[in-house]
Structure formats: C-alpha cells, structure tokens
Amino acid sequence: MVSQAICDVSRASCETSGMSVAAYLEELGRPLLDEQLGHPTVVGIAKGDLDERVFRSWLEQDYLFLLDYVRVFSRLAWQAPDGHLGDLVDLAYATFHEELSLHRSLAAEFGADLEGARKGPACAAYTGFLLESAASYGEGLAALYPCMWGYSTLGGILAADPPAEPRYRRWVDTYADPGFAALARRIAEMIDEAAPSLERAEQKFREGMRHELAFWSVPLTD
C-alpha cells in the first residue's frame, strides 16, 4: 500500500508539473535499468568475459524476440495516426534488416542455431505481453519503450568503458550508435503525442521493464 501511495503521488506530480509521459517513464525506469546493469549477463558483456554459451543462448532468444518485435511494430502501424505511420514502418524495417542482421553475423561467430531455436519462458512471456499490449496504440508504445530506451541507454553506458573483446564490443557499439538513440527518442515523442493514460502507460512500462530484466537470464541448452 505504501509503494502504491508513492506511485500515486509521483503520477500526480508528473501531471501537475507538465513533465512529458516519456520523461516520467524514463525517471521511473532508471532504478530498474540499474538492476539490468548489475545482472551477470550484462556484467559479462561489459567486461568482455561472458561465457560464450550464455551469449549464444541470448542471441537465439533475442532473434526470436525480434521477429515478434517486428510484428508488434506492424500491429501498431495498422492503428497509427498518419504522422506516426512512416516511423513505425521504418522501425520494423530497421529491426528486420539491420538488428537481425547483427544477430545473424554474431550467430556465426558464436555457433548459435537461430533457425532451430525455440522460445524459452522469458522470451515467450515478453513477446506475448508486447503483442497483447499492441492492441491499444498508446499503451503498446509504452510497453515497447523499455526495449528501445533501455538498450539505447545501456549501450551508451557500456560504451563509456567498452569491452576489449571485439564481438562484445560490436554488440555494445550497435546499441550505443546515435542512430539507434534517435529511434528511441522518436518513440518517446510518439508516446507523448499518443497521450495514453499515464496510469496505464506506467503499468505497461513497468511490466516491460520487468520482462527486460528477466530476459537476461537465458536458458542454457548445453
């Protein structure tokens, strides 16, 4: 009850201060992002000494996740106002042709079996949540923001002291790229323009952040 009261006060403060919805979500998300920074998988990537089996499994799971992420963008595009339609098509295109291309390239180096991979529980739960959330336009944008904002922010933080291991460095550089940051900022603008209920946006964003943290604990198959 106490934590709910704090949330209610914070939400009311946001509504009266004129803070944008996306900025409010980012403020809420920073402690949850710090949890990701402390996760052993992220720590291993940052140091460049992550067990290759773990990263191989993560690549397989994230490949399957991204295929559904493209579907999320597509479902949102069907509902989008004219001013957002091109952005969502571009995001779907960039995810399918650029981000998945990175995964295919790294898969060859880590021996990942992208075509034979099957979703683990965390991947299935996360993609199911996103696809369901995308039935509502503004809420769907808030639900996917933890991935866009989170990876852009993580990439920027890790790039400040990048791993020496070149494969992990390439992964960090991808998400630290200014072009990826620009895509995340555009999603923030679209959330504000869609103006979802602040309470519902917060619920979706928090749940998305929980899925992001859980996703780092990948299943090992060998």
**Distance between CA atoms of 148 and 216, rounded to whole angstroms?**
15
Check residue 219 and give its pLDDT: 85
**Distance between CA atoms of 3 and 24, rounded to whole angstroms?**
17
Check residue 19 and give its pLDDT: 87
Query: Average of pLDDT values for 142-169?
Result: 96
User: CA Rg, the chain, in Å?
Assistant: 17
Q: Give the start-to-end residue ranges of the domains of the chain.
A: 30-216
Which pLDDT band holds residue 54 (cuts at 50, 70, 90)? Answer: very high
pLDDT at 75 over 60: yes
pTM check: above 0.85: yes
Contacts of 177 (CB under 8 A, 6+ apart): 155
DSSP 116: T
Which pLDDT band holds residue 220 (cuts at 50, 70, 90)? Answer: confident
Mean pLDDT across the chain, nearest whole number?
92
pLDDT at 70 over 60: yes
State the architecture of 30-216 in CATH terms.
Up-down Bundle (1.20)
Model pLDDT for residues 22-53, shown as the tens digit of each residue = 999 999 999 999 999 999 999 999 999 999 99
CA angle (92, 94, 98) in 5-degree steps:
135
Under DSSP, is residue 86 helix (H, G, I), strand (E, B) or coil? helix
pLDDT at 14 over 80: no
pLDDT at 214 over 80: yes
How many other β-carbons are positioned within 10 Å of the β-carbon of residue 82? 6
Check residue 13 and give its pLDDT: 56
Which pLDDT band holds residue 5 (cuts at 50, 70, 90)? Answer: very low
| Lookup result for tokens 């519902």 | 200
